[in-house]
Amino acid sequence: MEYYGAYERTDDFEYPEGAYGVMSWWDYGHWITTQSQRIPNANPFQQGATNAANYLLAPNESQAQDVLDRRADAGEETRYVMVDYQMASVTSKFSAPVTFYDDENVSYNDFAETVYSLQETEQGTFVDRSSQVYDQRYYDSLMVRLYRYHGSAQQAQPIVVDWETRELTAGDGSTVDVRTVGDNESMVKRFPNMSAARAYVEEDGSAQIGGVGPFPSEDVPALKHYRLVKASEAQNPNFQLNDRRQAAMAGDQLYGLIYQTSATSPNWVKTFEKVPGATVEGSGAPANTEVTASVEMRMPNSNSTFVYTQHAQTNDDGEFTLTLPYSTTGYDEFGPENGYTNVSVRANTSYTVTTPSTTNASGYTVQYGQEFNVSEGAVLGVDEEPVQITLEKRTQAPEGAQNDSDTNSTDTNSSSLTAPDSLSVDSSTVDSTDAGSVDGPSSSVLTTDAFGPAARVTN
C-alpha cells in the first residue's frame, strides 16, 4: 500500500480468520498499515487513540489486558506491541498518551517532575540546568516496562533524589513553587541499604527513593506475557537524553551509576509479541521464600544483551509457579512459514532459578537452584504441559574449611549456580553526547519482518 495513496471507503469489511491487531501510539498507525499491511489498533485519524493511551500507560499487566478486552470483539486479538524510543522518553512523546489517558485522573506531574539546578550570581538567581525526575507511575507504565526493561523485573535500589522546594519569580512577576538544588550540589545520594534510604526520605520530607535512570522508587514486577522479538538496527541516544541530564546533576561520582550502568539499548523501535507464556512448576525449595528465574537474551541488531528476570514466592511445601515469556530452545521449529513469529531476539543461556543464599550454623553457604530450558512451543502455548523442575541444594564451605567438614546436610553437591549479571552494560549503549534532534524515524525504521503472517495458520 502507498502511504499517500487514495483508497475508497469500505463499509463492513470482514477481516480474514486469524487477523490480529498491532498496538502502538496513533502516530504510527498508517506506517503499520502501509509498511506491514497489518491492522493498527490506533491511527492518525485518532481512531483508538484513547484506548492506545490507556493500554500503553496501564500500571500493570492485568489492567492492560482489560483495556484490550474492552476494545476487542470475539475472535479479535492484539498480537504485537511496537514501542519506539520517543514514546518512552519524557523529552519526546511520553506526554502525548498522558493527554488522552482516561482510566485514572492523572496529570503529567504524576509521571515526572522537573528539578532545577540554580546558580546564584550578583545579578540574581538563574536556572543553570534541569532534568525531570521520574515518579513510580512512570516506571509502572506498560510501555516503559517494555522499552526500558524488556518486560524484566526491576528492583528498587538505595538511591535517593533530594531537593529543596523554593518559590521563584518568573519574568512576568508571577511566582511558582519548584524543586531545586544548588549549583554545586548533587541531587542524588547513595545509601548502603534500603532501610537507610527510606529513613532519610522520611526524615527529610523533600526527597524520594529512585526516580533517576533505570532505578524505580519501588520494585517493578516482571511481565509474564510479553517478549521482545525484534529491535531495529537504527538507534537514537536521545532516549537517554533526560537520563544524561539527571546524571549531570548527580555529580561525577554518581554519573556512571545513573547513566552508563544498566543503560538499555536505545534501538529506535522495539517490537514485542504477546504470548501465553510457558508454565514452570517448581519444587524442592525452602518454604515461603523467594525464587528468582533469569535468562540472558541477545539482540543481534545492536549486538547487545539483556537479562530477563522474574520472581516468585514458594508455598509452605517449597513449591512455586512461574509463567515465562522467553524461550531458550526450539526457535527453528516455529516461524512465519507455519504461522508464527520470526524471533530474532534469542537466548544466550538456559534459565537459572535460585533462592537467596543463607549461612548455616557451621558457616556453610547454602543455596537452592537449578538450570532448565523452555521451548518455543511451551511459550506459544502449543506444548501445554508445564515444565517440571526440582531445585537442588548447593553448599559452599567457608574459607579454610576441610572438605569433610560438617555441612549439617547429607547433600555433598558443592557446585554453585550463577545467574546472568543483570547489571552488565554493553559499550554500544553508552553515548557521551547530549546533542541530536528528536526527529521522527523514516518509515524504513519501522521494519515489521518479525511479524507472523497476517492471518495465523490454525492447526
pLDDT band, residue 456 (cuts 50/70/90):
very low
61-119 tens-digit pLDDT: 999 999 999 988 766 799 999 999 999 999 999 999 999 999 999 999 999 999 999 88
409-429 tens-digit pLDDT: 444 454 555 566 544 334 344
Cell numbers of 125, please?
538567581
371-399 tens-digit pLDDT: 999 999 999 999 999 999 999 999 998 88
- The residue-averaged pLDDT of 183-189 equals 89
321-349 tens-digit pLDDT: 999 999 999 999 999 999 999 999 999 99
Say what the pTM is: 0.87
Greater confidence (50 vs 443) lies with 50
Cell numbers of 49, please?
487513540
Residue whose C-alpha is closest to residue 237's, from 270, 269, 268, 266: 266
250-271 tens-digit pLDDT: 988 788 888 765 467 789 999 9
Instruction: Give the whole-angstrom CA distance, residue 197 versus residue 159.
Output: 7
pLDDT band, residue 303 (cuts 50/70/90):
confident
- The residue-averaged pLDDT of 280-306 equals 94
135-184 tens-digit pLDDT: 999 999 999 999 999 999 999 999 999 999 998 887 788 888 999 998 78
pLDDT at 60 over 90: yes
Grouping H, G, I as helix, E, B as strand and the rest as coil, residue 108 is: helix
Give the per-residue pLDDT at 30: 95
pLDDT band, residue 204 (cuts 50/70/90):
very high
Burial of 31 by CB count in 10 Å (0-12 exposed, 13-18 middle, 19+ buried)?
Answer: buried
Cα dihedral 226, 227, 231, 235 sign: positive
Instruction: Give the whole-angstrom CA distance, residue 226 versus residue 273.
Output: 6
Report, in angstroms and rounded to the nearest whole number, the Rg of the chain calculated over CA atoms: 24
pLDDT band, residue 8 (cuts 50/70/90):
confident
Instruction: Give the whole-angstrom CA distance, residue 247 versus residue 184.
Output: 14
pLDDT at 51 over 90: yes
- The residue-averaged pLDDT of 211-235 equals 96
